Amino acid sequence: MAIERIGVVGAGQMGNGIAHVCAVAGYEVLLNDIDQNAIDKAMATIGKNLDRQVSREVITEAQKAEAMARIGTTQTLTDLGPTDLVIEAATERETVKQAIFEDLLPHLTPDTILTSNTSSISITRLASRTDRPEKFMGFHFMNPVPVMQLVELIRGIATDKDTFDACYGVVERLGKTAATAEDFPAFIVNRILMPMINEAVYALYEGVGSVQSIDTSLKLGANHPMGPLELADFIGLDTCLAIMNVLHDGLADTKYRPCPLLTKYVEAGWLGRKTERGFYDYRGETPVPTR
């Protein structure tokens, strides 16, 4: 399967990063979002991130211009029909993802591969709602996409070898490393990472330590580049909660029960960096712990 044209659904943090790396690797990219403001913001972010790569001599000014020229945008989802590979990077809600694939299906070529950047939802279940479960798989990038080297490739129960090989080839062309995961809730990275974050929230909830002491302990005691609560804010507390709920529901084990304090922060709308408040308050010059 020759892949040259890639459609990206969703121009948010993940979608713009995926469009960025695909364009730099020489793919023709069509970036879709229902919100023109989100598209405009995404293109500005891509330009800024490419400038950063130019300043670090990762790419040249000419390569930046070529990459930007390869990215087209559209508010019309069905425009992605003629692409060879679709990477869905919309909100982490299964009903939203299902609706996107249902709208796309009548407009796709017979050979178009469908993938989802979901961090936790069943690939087999998403695939079963399409007309091509054998040409469907999980394509999970890490955030921030231009920096992080890993991509999790997740086969659904029906995914065929040609589809897997084609997606593996894309990861190689992007200059990233593929890790193959089985289709179980949250796959590999989030199956291990999210319970650690959830446990850090429990440690805060139970008064074992403050925000500052918990993050400092993991940074200096486990040599993590970022503390777990700082990382949760970076990911988005709503996303963390959604993944914990998928783990709890999918594996039926109480060890994955989301911490009530995590739920409370999400209910308050304190979702982390994107809302300027989470476990830290980002509205001043430097982040200040909120507990």
User: Tens digit of pLDDT for each residue in 96-151?
Assistant: 999 999 999 999 999 999 999 998 899 999 999 999 999 999 999 999 999 999 99
Q: Does 17 belong to an annotated binding site?
A: no
Q: Does 33 belong to an annotated binding site?
A: yes
From 16, 20, 49, 140, active-site residue: 140
CA dihedral 156, 160, 165, 166 (to 10 degrees): -90
**Cα–Cα dist 195/94, whole Å:** 21
**Cα–Cα dist 208/259, whole Å:** 14
Report which of 221, 231, 154, 223 is spatially closest to residue 196, judged by C-alpha positions: 231
Tens-digit pLDDT profile for residues 13-43: 999 999 999 999 999 999 999 999 999 999 9
Which residues are paired to 29 by β-bridges? Answer: 6, 71
Q: Does 97 belong to an annotated binding site?
A: yes
- Phi and psi at 31, nearest 5°, equal -100, 125
| Superfamily grouping for domain 189-289 | N-(1-d-carboxylethyl)-l-norvaline Dehydrogenase; domain 2 (1.10.1040.10)
- Whether 140 sits among the annotated catalytic residues: the reply is yes
- Whether 120 sits among the annotated catalytic residues: the reply is no
**Cα–Cα dist 288/272, whole Å:** 12
Mean residue pLDDT across the chain: 96
Q: Does 13 belong to an annotated binding site?
A: yes
From 32, 120, 190, 198, active-site residue: 190
Report which of 189, 284, 288 is spatially closest to residue 233, judged by C-alpha positions: 288
Question: Domain 5-182 belongs to what topology?
Answer: Rossmann fold (3.40.50)
Side by side, which strands form the sheet with 28-32?
71-74, 28-32, 5-9, 85-88, 113-116, 136-141, 150-155, 177-181
Tens-digit pLDDT profile for residues 54-103: 999 999 999 999 999 999 999 999 999 999 999 999 988 899 999 999 99
From 119, 120, 122, 198, active-site residue: 119
Report which of 165, 6, 151 is spatially closest to residue 80, judged by C-alpha positions: 6
Radius of gyration of the chain (CA): 19
Domain spans in the chain, listed from the N-terminal domain onward = 5-182, 189-289
